[in-house]
Amino acid sequence: MEKLRYILEEWFEYETPPLIEREFPYSLLSSSMILSLVGVRRSGKTYLLYQLVNILKKDIPSLNIIYLNFEDIRLYPLTGEELKILVDVYKQNFSYNSKKPIYFLLDEIQNIPLWEKTIRSLYDRYKDLRIIITGSSSQLLSSEIATSLRGRTLTYKVFPFSFKEFLKVKNIDFEVKNIKYSPKRNYIIKSLKEYIEFGGFPQVVLEEKNKTEILKEYYLTILYRDIVERYRIKNLRLFENFFKIITQNISSLFSYGKILNLFKSMGFKMSKNTLIEYMRYIESSFFAFEVSIFSFNIKDQLQYPRKIYIIDTGLRNAVSFRASYDFGKLAENLVFLELKRQDLEIYYWKNNQNYEVDFLIREGLKVKELIQVCWKIEDEKTQKREIRSLLKAMDEFKIKEGLIITEEYDDIKEINNKRIVFKPLWQWLIL
């Protein structure tokens, strides 16, 4: 109890460090449910907690807001009692506003033995308590949080910096209303190239040097600590090769059958189910994501190849051998990440004539949006091909407007009573 009291006293005198304000739906703070922040390692979950502290302090006395990091060695050895007595230690030793909620922001919650039962008990017992938790991606998955706190939690996914957040770090401000003619336009376009190359991990963005070395270290830590150690993967060489294939083949169709045949030709012995299980492990670490073909037939979604995207283009560039950047695939990966941040239902579309659209956004029972990504669209033959595929999908789903995201081509075309909007990636990412 004395350790907790001392650390709480210290917290109430603590000033949160300078930080870059992240995009966050603050309406979640008004919910009485437990809020869990999850995401890939080093994406900024702890600093987001500090940001929430600053926001809450504007409305609530600071003594009603507690932050605890359960990796603080002064709390060790952790027995599980720390969490159980936290409310009592606080209420017995500190004055607080009983008319306002009490916020507990608990970082690295997985270090507390039997934390799930204690959190559930606190939530059910104290109606004035609001709980926000984070967990290490190597030891605690969002799926495990959802299962442990079923019916009591809201989950918010924390990604590396978006491009808008990246520009904020670079002190590049702009007016959305006049963005096409902004005097900052050239700075924004130059910044996009850096963002494509090195990605959005906060530490990487803030570092002036050694960006690639940091990214390589992240890659290895996710590979070995978050996946290999956690799941006790025995065939290390097989998994390392599979992980490398996932990393290098972003924005591409991915067939388990073809990968299986490739590995068998290399002398590996495994089943297709092994590769599917490996992919589940990779997704659980937030390193990569699969996108299914759009079909009302579930069987089609399961049997057709998936498209693969990863959490950060910088990771891919840091560890992939390449003669030159494939900006088309990198741009498509960025578009996916921005759609994923919005928590949209994402598919790709392809018909029997092999016409294909990169992203189909579904909302409920309706197809809401169709998006094509084509980095170099100025060539007439390329433009016709991309427009033709988009028009086929627009006809099928009775949509009047489609979007093609480009490097710099900016235009609107009216074709067959349909509207095709061409928009540069840098504009789309910040509008």
- pLDDT category at 181 given cuts 50, 70, 90 is confident
Q: Does the domain made of 2-158 have the CATH classification 3.40.50.300? A: yes
Please state, rounded to an integer, the average pLDDT across all residues of the chain: 93
CA 120 vs. chain centroid, Å, equals 26
Query: pTM for the complete prediction?
Result: 0.94
Provide the CB-side half-sphere exposure for 333 (13 A, CA): 31
Tell me the C-alpha distance between 46 and 63, whole Å: 20
Q: Which of 68-77, 180-189, 245-254 has the lowest mean pLDDT?
A: 180-189
Tokens linked to 275: 């590769």
- pLDDT category at 145 given cuts 50, 70, 90 is confident
Average pLDDT over residues 102-124: 92
What integer pLDDT is reported at residue 325 of this predicted model? 67
Q: Which neighbouring-strand residues pair with 103?
A: 65, 130
- pLDDT category at 324 given cuts 50, 70, 90 is low
Reading across the β-sheet that carries 252-254, which strands appear in turn?
252-254, 306-310, 288-291
Residue 42, sorted as left (phi over 0), alpha (psi -120 to 50) or beta, turns out to be left
Q: What are the pLDDT digits (tens) for 360-419?
A: 999 998 999 999 999 999 889 999 999 999 999 999 999 999 999 999 999 999 999 999
Angle between helical axes of 2-12 and 86-93 (0-180°, round to 10): 60
Average pLDDT over residues 141-145: 67
Residue 14 pLDDT greater than 70, yes or no: yes
Please state the domain extents for the chain.
2-158, 162-328, 344-431
Average pLDDT over residues 43-50: 95
Tell me the C-alpha distance between 329 and 335, whole Å: 10
- pLDDT category at 302 given cuts 50, 70, 90 is confident
Q: What are the pLDDT digits (tens) for 336-372?
A: 999 999 999 999 999 999 999 999 999 998 999 999 9
CB 122 within 8 A of CB 106: no
Average pLDDT over residues 59-69: 93
Tell me the C-alpha distance between 431 and 423, whole Å: 11
What integer pLDDT is reported at residue 300 of this predicted model? 79
Tokens linked to 302: 């399961």
Residue 121 pLDDT greater than 70, yes or no: yes
Q: Which of 106-110, 146-150, 345-349, 387-391 has the lowest mean pLDDT?
A: 146-150
Tell me the C-alpha distance between 252 and 345, whole Å: 19
Average pLDDT over residues 21-38: 94
